[in-house]
Structure 1
Amino acid sequence: MTLTPAIPPLQLRLSVAPMMDWTDSHCRVFHRLLAPHARLYTEMVHANAVIHGDRPRLLAMDPIEHPVALQLGGSEPELLAQAAKIGAEWGFDEVNLNCGCPSDRVQAGRFGACLMREPRLVADSVAAMVESCDVPVTVKCRLGVDDDHDWDHFLSFIDTVADAGCRMFVIHARNAWLKGLSPKENREVPPLRYDWAYQLKRERPQLQIVVNGGIASQAEATAHLEHTDGAMLGRAAYHDPYLLHQLDVAWFGGEVRSRAELLRSMRPYIEDQLARGVYLKHITRHLLGLFAGERGGRAFRQVLSEGAHKPGADWSLIEQALALTESFAAEQAGAA
């Protein structure tokens, strides 16, 4: 057995989950500016697409994103090995196998969460990927599928895959229900059981365990560090991205920067992308939650949502949105 390289422990403490239609390269650049120490993940890309598709589009990555992992979907060891090799050659710092996505399309392709029913196939896939590339090969999975709530069955899955060379598992700490729930409902309805991730780390301390699912605050994320190697944020990182900055400063040090300052640091990237022909709306859709919960946050979203799709929209629109939030802040300070 070839053992995949270990990931430096500090790089595991804070990460952002792979999220379809969300964590593209523009999103990851934004998250990197907010959280210099976070580990970032691509959207899931099927192995076939990596091998035969438009790689410059599918594997787009800015150098600022590192460390960044490529998440693959698939269930054929040879294809996954080929795709992992390509991902490593394109500069990704990790290749992660999706064993947690519950969508109908994914099930029809025999990958994602339904792979938890085929631990031997996952192990064969991981072993092939480990042999094909020199970056860490990891797995993101659920606790089980449908009504399977058997701890020994879950542990057997982990052990089988670990024996194939995998050292790091991201545990989305709930089951995947493959019948009767949409992917969105699968992120909300099945109950969270973080204690399984904690127990896994206790019983298999040699493995690197990151917990994912429903983490929505700094206090919640910090509590997970007492039991696992890291916390992976999903929807909270997208809908309230400033939380990433708060966690990064709290866990790694540095100065707390204002939302406006952080966003303005993105101006060179945005203007470079506009010069390359990228439309502003493709970037600003990831920025809408920056002022979540703040006075002026709704106005900020409204300006960007209504203006970014218009021809010629540029950085000045973002300054217009920021000016509104700053006027609200000044008004609030004056009232105090």
Structure 2
Amino acid sequence: MTETAGKAARTKAYFNAPVFAVAPMIDWTDRHYRFFARQLSKHALLYTEMIVAEAILRGDRQRLLGFDVSEHPVALQLGGNDPAKMAEAARIAEGFGYDEINMNVGCPSDRVQSGTFGACLMQEPQTVAACVAAMKAAVKIPVTVKCRIGVDDQDPEVALRTLVAQVIDAGADAVWVHARKAWLQGLSPKENREVPPLDYGLVYRLKQENPNLFIGINGGLQTLNQALEQLPHLDGVMLGRAAYHDSAMLTAADRHFPHPLTGAKPIVEDGATFSERGHRLDLDFWAEVRDAMADYAAAHIANGGRLIHVTRHMVGLFQGWAGARRYRQILSSDATRQGAGPDVIYAAFDAVFEATAAKQAAE
């Protein structure tokens, strides 16, 4: 969407719980991934990659913030620590039509730390609160925070509660908690997603203490069933790499979660069948996904893009299916060749369709 698209912004506290969200992931949740994910789930809340506020103020806004209207509901994750710059970036993003502004207080990478934002701001809750207050004053859409439970030697029981208390006072509409500490030195970003122990119980207690605040959880959730187990305790669940690498699980999310914006009830379609892993099985659905992605890729190529920009997000789609290996081979090799077009997508899907039909005929 363009900068004029969001002028009729919604005014509401936050979204209809429970919410299923795909986490913001740098280099992964770009506009091409989000369009793809939206073909698989109409109800999942999608997040952009983290975009630094300063980049929005100085850079190519259409390139940074533009998105396809089909991506709604979609949230922008902002990185920064200057309240005035965060507020102006949020105002600009609202003009593009985003449904939420989320402040990154959880990323531990050296690149983010060098800008003094991300997880290191767990040590500066007053700065986070000032940014939230400034953004709330600048926009009508929800302003939220995604954080860790603490960093380094902080006591999570104290650090998380202190941060949340201050952002509540600043007007935050929701808090998404990655339920582990981050170590700012000595661990890579990958290790920071795996090594620090999870503490779901702390996030549950935080919700009990703040019943009127939307609190969602992130971290360590690998399957849709694990996500559903969180719902008695919390308002939302957020999956990251698990949802990206096994993206077919998104097809089952709409069976359990309402639409965040409209409140539309979970979708139960006649004739829709699902595997034990939560993958939708009926091939008519997958033919629609194929056609949508082929058309999208054709438009991207016509605008000067390359097929691989789109298909790199689709490689993990058919895990465990007949024909999945050939599907991956086609997307991994043929999509990279010069002049590759949408026919590669058709060939990859056909490999799965033909292998699945042969398997069913033999059973």
Q: Distance in 1 between matches of 2:71 and 2:354?
A: 32
Q: Give the equivalent residue in structure 1 for 2:94.
A: 88
Q: Which of 331, 335, 348 is residue 308 of structure 1 equivalent to?
A: 335
Q: Give the equivalent residue in structure 1 for 2:267.
A: 253
Q: Give the equivalent residue in structure 2 for 1:194.
A: 200
Q: Give the equivalent residue in structure 2 for 1:51.
A: 57
Q: Give the equivalent residue in structure 1 for 2:275.
A: none
Percent of aligned positions with the same letter in both sequences?
Answer: 49
Q: Distance in 2 between matches of 1:77 and 1:263?
A: 43
Name the CA shift for 1:152/1:317 in 2 (closer, same or farther; >3 Å). Answer: same
Provide, for residues 78-105 of structure 1, a one-character-per-residue CA deviation record: whole Å limited to 9, x for no partner: 1111111111111111110000000011
Q: Distance in 2 between matches of 1:103 and 1:5?
A: 33
> Greater shift after overlay, 110-119 or 246-255?
246-255
Provide, for residues 119-168 of structure 1, a one-character-per-residue CA deviation record: whole Å limited to 9, x for no partner: 01111111111111111110000000013234133211110111011120
Q: Give the equivalent residue in structure 2 for 1:26.
A: 32
1:160-199 to 2 correspondence within 5 Å? 160-199=166-205
* Alignment of 1:226 onto 2:232: yes
**Contact kept in structure 1, 2:79 and 2:118, CA below 8 Å:** yes
> Greater shift after overlay, 267-276 or 80-89?
267-276
Q: Give the equivalent residue in structure 1 for 2:16.
A: 9
Question: Runs of 5+ in structure 1 lacking a partner?
Answer: none
Q: Give the equivalent residue in structure 2 for 1:274.
A: 301
- TM-score after normalising by structure 2: 0.88
Q: Give the equivalent residue in structure 2 for 1:295.
A: 322
Q: Distance in 2 between matches of 1:183 and 1:323?
A: 37
Q: Give the equivalent residue in structure 1 for 2:3.
A: none
Q: Distance in 2 between matches of 1:250 and 1:85?
A: 33
Q: Distance in 2 between matches of 1:228 and 1:295?
A: 37
Question: Runs of 5+ in structure 2 lacking a partner?
Answer: 1-10, 258-265, 273-279
- TM-score after normalising by structure 1: 0.95
For 1:36, what is the secondary structure of its paired residue? coil
Tell me how far 1:220 sits from its aligned partner.
0.3
User: Considering only aligned residues, what root-mean-square deviation do their CA atoms show, in Å?
Assistant: 1.5
> Greater shift after overlay, 150-159 or 280-289?
150-159
Q: Distance in 1 between matches of 2:341 and 2:268?
A: 31
For 1:326, what is the secondary structure of its paired residue? helix
Tell me how far 1:5 sits from its aligned partner.
4.1
For 1:30, what is the secondary structure of its paired residue? helix
> Greater shift after overlay, 237-246 or 263-272?
263-272
1:56-205 to 2 correspondence within 5 Å? 56-205=62-211
Provide, for residues 284-312 of structure 1, a one-character-per-residue CA deviation record: whole Å limited to 9, x for no partner: 00111110122221211111110112122
Q: Distance in 2 between matches of 1:184 and 1:60?
A: 29
Q: Distance in 1 between matches of 2:92 and 2:256?
A: 36
Q: Distance in 2 between matches of 1:237 and 1:126?
A: 28
